[in-house]
Structure 1
Amino acid sequence: MGRHSAVKSGEARALEGARVLVTRSPDRAAPLVNALRGAGAEPLLLPLIDFERARDQHSLEVALDALRAGAYGWLVVSSITTVRALKEKAAERRLDLRGIIPESVRVATIGPSSRRVLEAEGIPVDLAPDDVQSAAGLVSVWPAGPASVFLPQADIADDVLAAGIEAKGAVVQAVTAYHTVDYPAVAERRLTATLAAANGWQPGDGSGAPQLTPEAARAELARGRLHAVVAASPSAARRIQASLAPLEDCRFIAIGRSTAAEAAALGLPVAATAKEPTPAGIVAALRTVFATEGNES
């Protein structure tokens, strides 16, 4: 059954009947699930990625001690998962995030979701890109000159952010804060810290969306019953390619240019890239794709 038979044309109603695969774990999927439902789509979960605590806890502890002592002028937060990892470390010390991030430290982030979560946790954000919300976008607005920077990040993070900031004159201490793994993570190593509610981001359990296995998702693809899949990172794109390709008529929606570039390198056609890495931005990208197709049919 084709996608056009299920979805009505017109941007306002473009997602009615669309079945959208969300490749996040249930506890991280609620914001997008709720936004999709609000737009008339039917979200389904296919968790592909999960997150575990850093294997090298000593290096992270040393860096956090230096952060508390004022050794860094800047803290760069590149994802919501980084906030979760830092909050978990703070909780181990019976502190909140404000207890490990001195007021003297300036905070930078790459996207609105991370900014909203940080601010909900009581951490003001001093620098974030307005246009290109990515590592490259943050580098483009980074002030030139000497600076000491703490960059906690994923084990699979590339060097775009660290190298770009260093090229502006800063000294960057990059430390692995968490590991990206196939879902599900090992229970005793899984990041479990709950983040404060923020506008556009709410912790939750996937809001009851049906959860598929890769086998079930492939069967739905073969029957033409999946109309879009959303990937939030290059690692998600790699796992989608490994688990689901070919995607048949299912549209690949990327959150961020790096995700779109990885998908293209893997041979996955990218139907749209969300202009903002938020639930609203993803819904807008989906609406644009399906409204255009509906008008052409």
Structure 2
Amino acid sequence: MTYQALILRDAARAAATVREFEKLGIESFCARLIDTVWPADLSELNAGIEALLAGSYHWLVLTSVNTVEVISTLLAGRRLPPRSKVAAVGTKTAKAARTRLGVDPDFVPAEQSAAGMVAQWQLEPGQKIFYPHGDLASSTLSAGLSAHAVHEVVAYLTVAAGSGGAPLGQLPAPPGIHVLAPEEIPQALDGLDLLVFTAPSIVRRFVQLAGVNLPDRVKTVAIGQPTAAALRSAGMAADAIAGEPTPAGLARAAQELLPNANHQF
């Protein structure tokens, strides 16, 4: 049996999940509902980068692949000082840091979330921390770091796809990936078995486009607890929550919901 899934994520970023789903007999479509774009004013962000290069911070905090992209672009090939430590929210962000920044993070929490960082990160008193993040970041991490000197700055903005702004490095859809335009989603729902939500902001944009009343056959997967909370807040079910925010984690969650999915992990 072939199932049909819609992964609400940019096709290039969703490609690994598409491959994992293929192992389960799931045919996937992708739809990009949001864009990440540069802030109009980069002065504070650039000032933070220069202070980082000067060794003014003990730690750089990375909470998304988008943040890594921003830092890498602004560094323009310059390397972080050897004494600067890096904290990454999860394995995917840590991998991006190795690839794009050439650094191996010093701290990655077992629970890959801001809450996990707060719970598990043991810091010496008075640490100076550079924390660039998206404009929709929750206050969880900043509140948890309140005992330290934290320089927070907005590194990128999250906007509805196609609404303007200078995008961060977007890649074209890989060959063989099926892509839906956002306006095609309401008509496609009746043919789906699975909807995969990959961020709270994507939940909110989906509701604007298609509402909250899904066909009975459609099950939902959330990439993590914040996304699941956004689904419930919108009045939708989170039928499964990925144990880790990775393609394999999403595939395991999908397997829980689809009785004939046959790949064994």
Q: 3-state DSSP class of the match of 2:257?
A: helix
Q: 1:84–1:191: 8 Å Cα contact kept in structure 2? A: yes
Answer yes or no: is 1:242 the counterpart of 2:220. Answer: no
- Evaluate the alpha carbon distance shift between residue 207 and residue 283 of structure 1 in structure 2; reply closer, same or farther with a 3 A threshold: farther
Q: 1:26–1:45: 8 Å Cα contact kept in structure 2? A: yes
Answer yes or no: is 1:23 the counterpart of 2:8. Answer: yes
Q: 2:25–2:261: 8 Å Cα contact kept in structure 1? A: no
CA distance in 2, matches of 1:220, 1:163: 41
Q: 1:29–1:204: 8 Å Cα contact kept in structure 2? A: no
Match of 2:166 in 1: 189
Q: Displacement, 1:38? A: 3.2
Q: 1:233–1:258: 8 Å Cα contact kept in structure 2? A: yes
Q: 1:21–1:45: 8 Å Cα contact kept in structure 2? A: yes
Q: Displacement, 1:216? A: 2.4
Alignment RMSD, CA only?
A: 2.0
Answer yes or no: is 1:141 the counterpart of 2:109. Answer: no
Relative to its length, the structure with more helix (as a share) is 1
Answer yes or no: is 1:163 the counterpart of 2:148. Answer: no
Q: 1:254–1:274: 8 Å Cα contact kept in structure 2? A: yes
Match of 2:86 in 1: 107
TM-score, structure 1 length as denominator?
0.81
Q: What amino acid is aligned across from residue 55 of structure 1 in structure 2?
A: A
Q: What amino acid is aligned across from residue 144 of structure 2 in structure 1?
A: G
CA distance in 2, matches of 1:204, 1:74: 33
Equivalent residues in 2 for 1:18-57 (5 A)? Answer: 18-57=3-42
Q: 3-state DSSP class of the match of 1:60?
A: helix
Answer yes or no: is 1:127 the counterpart of 2:107. Answer: yes
Q: Displacement, 1:100? A: 4.3
- Evaluate the alpha carbon distance shift between residue 50 and residue 206 of structure 1 in structure 2; reply closer, same or farther with a 3 A threshold: farther
The runs of 5 or more residues in structure 2 that have no matched partner are none
Which runs of 4 or more aligned residues in structure 1 lie more than 6 Å from their structure 2 counterparts after TM superposition?
none
Q: Displacement, 1:220? A: 2.0
Match of 1:253 in 2: 221
